Structure 1
Amino acid sequence: MMIRSIGSLLAANQWSRASFHAAIVKFKRSTTAYSVNFLRLGGLMLPFILVGCVGVNGQSPLSTLTQSVLPEDKVVDYRYTDCENIWNMEQPNVRENSLYWLRVMDCADRLSTNEARTDANQIDANHWWQVFQQSILLNAAEPTVAERRKIVDNLNTYSLQFPTAVRPLLQLWREQQVQAINLTEINLRFKRLQQDSDNRIDRLKEQNARLEFELNNVSRKLENLTDIERQLSSRKQTQNIPAAEMEKPATDKPADEQTSLQQPPVETVNPTEDETSTSKE
């Protein structure tokens, strides 16, 4: 009301300082009266508010209301389920539980390789849970790289049919299969490189052995040649020694013999018949 009177004064341009002051005083009085009435009402309602907050049987009504609104979601733990019975559970709520599939993985690891492969071959993979179960059994049967690739392809084909609760487990399982494929390929590549290096080392060893044989053969020939050369040189030395001994006595004769040998012999001439006749006369 006070605000309306002030608005009417402003509209009529009948505003003055005194009228404005009177309007303010009247407004304060009205607000004080309203506040007093509100406090009285609050004092009357306070006991009822306190009674509403008191718990019934040790439980607050607010918590009771919250529990009634929130749905009850019970999760079944399959860790203690027998492995013989885990394969026969075909209820939809069981298949959509990730704990069930973790137990299936645990039970599959306890099977032998032949048993896991036999059970996997008996499954007709026409639904997502059959594909998932078959992949778990094949993983326990030590599959080849081609089989793991087929597992990944089947999981990708039925990935849209997997429930939301199982989808994170599916992603982890698929990543594990991909990593296993990569690891197997790396091991095969390493074995191939190792085999190539071993073959190269064997060829180098054969080449080294052949070179050593040729080296020994050449060394033997060189030794034979040196022996032959040594024998020839010794033969030459033995042939030169007798010739020197034969020349040595001729050089050791006295000087008289040497001069006599050097002077020519005197020839004796017999007188002819003419010379004898003249001598007689």
Structure 2
Amino acid sequence: MVRTGQAQRFHALHRGPGVLAILNAWDAGSARVFEQAGCAAIGTTSAGIAYALGRPDGEALTRAELVEATARIAAATELPLTADVESGYGATPAEVGETVAAVIAAGAVGVNLEDAAPEGGAALRDLDDQCARLRAARAAAEDAGVPLFLNARTDAAWLGVGPAEQRRELIAARARAYAEAGADGIFAPGVSEPDELAALVAATPLPVNVLATRTTPSLDELERLGVRRLSVGSGPVRAALDLAGRIALEVLETGSSELMVAGTLTYREANALFR
């Protein structure tokens, strides 16, 4: 079965060789560009999907919109696809399971499920509740017959939860609990210092996933530290939006289109991506 094979391949990519670099697509076009660039797997970016629909990030999409976007991206690539389902698009574990079942049906073989508190701010969801949501996601995958890669995201560092001196142990404790709840990987955006990364790798048997930022070490250094996966998140879509804005300013303020044409795909090259 194609889906099972993709899922097994995706699991294997977390075992090496090297660090798995995930490029996060927001539509079918960006997925095709990333595939052509040679990446081994593709993720979705909830922020990018939201921006493409004129919304902010943070579950401003409906579940149906998320699933539709996931399906379009999955149809555009032969690579394993992991879907960013944010907090699961549901108030209850059962609703999280429904979301996971829907994105699996749309073509995903992995998901990211985060633990930020629904009320916002620098807080995490109750640990028992988050573990129940992870178990529901795992059960949905088992019901679908797909060996889903369940990536448990903790936002403790990203949101600055609790005293800084206690945050390392908080993240490690969450990683241990999420492993027991059925997670296959731990994603800790905001953790980027080498000593923090090494401590997290030592604290969990799960493959550690980090987010690419200005302070994230190189792929070679991440591999040395034991990190297994790097995600670019919303970086590419933000870069694309920034470039579009700078092109607009150049045209409007100087009448030049140099920025737009310099080193850009030709019309024929762009069309060839989709044939």
TM-score with structure 2 setting the length: 0.22
TM-score with structure 1 setting the length: 0.22
Structure with max Cα Rg? 1
Work out which structure has the larger RCO, using CA pairs closer than 8 Å and 6 or more positions apart in sequence.
2
Bigger strand fraction: 2
Bigger helix fraction: 1
